[in-house]
Amino acid sequence: MFGASTWTQGRQLPRWSELQPLIARRPFIADSIDRRLARAHTIDDLRTMARRRVPRPVFDYVDGAADDEISINRSRNAFRGIAFHPNALRDVSKVDTSTELLGERLAFPLVLAPTGFTRLMHHEGESAVAHAAADATLAYCLSTMGTTSIEDLAAQSPVGRRWFQLYLWKDRDASLALIDRAIEANYEALVLTIDTPVAGARMRDVRNGLTIPPTLTPRTIAAISTRPSWWFNLLTTGPLEFASLSSWDGTVAELVNQMFDPSVGVDDLRWLRAHWPGKLVVKGIQNRQDATLVVENGADAVVVSNHGGRQLDRAVTPLQLLPQVVEAVGGDAEIIIDSGIMSGADIVAAVSLGATAAMVGRAYLYGLMAGGERGVGRALKILNTEVVRTMQLLGVTRIADLDPDLVSLTHD
């Protein structure tokens, strides 16, 4: 055993001058939103902050998926299962993350996905997302079910890359009117979503009784007391206005089943291609045959997607399908992938496997709920930083040099 004198030999209390250099000096951030966002270092950090800022039904609308949420968990696990194979002894002091998608530059290979009812997440809504995307030199896609009109978004974000996402309705004249408005407002691309013939069973929304806009039930009144700033902002800013309809007071599922057309087929795609003068993207590809079909009928790009797990539960995992789609149409169309992407490393993995770019929805919505436009900007900064660092650790300095040899894709 050691004697007490051995433990105390040579010890003395440190002087203040010796302690002072060890004390962390963090600059004081006066603004509460900036101070909060400065503590977010990952998308999951933003998710935690988002949960604390909005009522539970709103958070669950973003965070949840269909049925038992198997598809979304599989999608995320597929990215977690990626194994990287880095190259060493490479000069990675300078990394260029820029790339081209549909003939225009992106600062890094990312598109901000269309999301419905965005002003529910934060009163700044789609305008905040579009501004953050433009600032980051990325493309943003406005949803048919957005809460900012086609024209207002174009006016508020005139320099950004704007895409418009379309659900075909039973009323074709109404669909055509939306397309013509997007043409008139100089939207760059039309994104046709094909995986929503009927609404998926989003059980969190069912159990929460979520309606659009929220109705004042005993449950929502209780939520007001726990999230007063969210409710104050919702009730004191402009009323919810939808890009595609004047009003609605039911659930999301009721809206989808009443208005969306479950009979959409290849002839409708050809009709769209004939009418739309810009780039045409088809979102919701879940097998290689459909990828080939839509490209043969005019699609300039496809989105390999299971709708973030929000439609058919147990649907195919997009990352695992991606190599098949690349083999089928990679020489004829550009390929985007979504569902389960939560980090810059996920983006790098997808591009390495042949995607031109990734598309995210939840990742930036967590930022929006956490801090409005600045929160979206923080999410994009986090993702970009992670892309750069992952590329450096892989020994790669250009997006074009990402290839399948850098990754192993496991299967569940």
Strand locations in 41-132, DSSP E?
Answer: 83-84, 99-101, 104-106, 110-112
Judge whether 307 counts as a catalytic residue. yes
Amino acid at 349: A
DSSP symbols for 315-369: PPPHHHHHHHHHHHHTTTSEEEE-SS--SHHHHHHHHHTT-SEEEESHHHHHHHH
Judging by beta carbons within 10 Å of its beta carbon (0-12, 13-18, 19+), is residue 202 exposed, middle or buried?
Answer: buried
Q: Which of 85, 275, 307, 411 is catalytic?
A: 307
Annotated ligand binding at 6? The verdict is: no
Annotated ligand binding at 202? The verdict is: yes
Annotated ligand binding at 56? The verdict is: no
Annotated ligand binding at 123? The verdict is: no
For 42, 133, 211, the CA distances from 260, given in Å and listed in that order, are: 36, 29, 18
Annotated ligand binding at 116? The verdict is: yes
Annotated ligand binding at 305? The verdict is: yes
For 115, 163, 211, the CA distances from 250, given in Å and listed in that order, are: 18, 27, 5
- HSE-up of 35 (CA within 13 Å, CB side)? 7
Annotated ligand binding at 156? The verdict is: no
How many CB atoms neighbour CB 268 within 10 A? Answer: 17
- Give the span between the Cα atoms of 146 and 372, in whole angstroms: 16
Annotated ligand binding at 193? The verdict is: yes
Annotated ligand binding at 131? The verdict is: no
Annotated ligand binding at 167? The verdict is: yes
Annotated ligand binding at 90? The verdict is: no
Annotated ligand binding at 140? The verdict is: no
The answer to whether residues 373 and 365 touch, using CB atoms and an 8 Å cutoff, is: no
Annotated ligand binding at 61? The verdict is: yes
Q: Which residue has the tokens 């939560």?
A: 342
The answer to whether residues 197 and 170 touch, using CB atoms and an 8 Å cutoff, is: no
CA-atom Rg of the chain in angstroms: 23
Q: Hey, which residues are catalytic here?
A: 307
Binding-site residue set for FMN: 114-116, 143, 165, 193, 283, 305, 361-362
Binding-site residue set: 61, 114-116, 143, 165, 167, 193, 202, 283, 305, 307, 310, 361-362
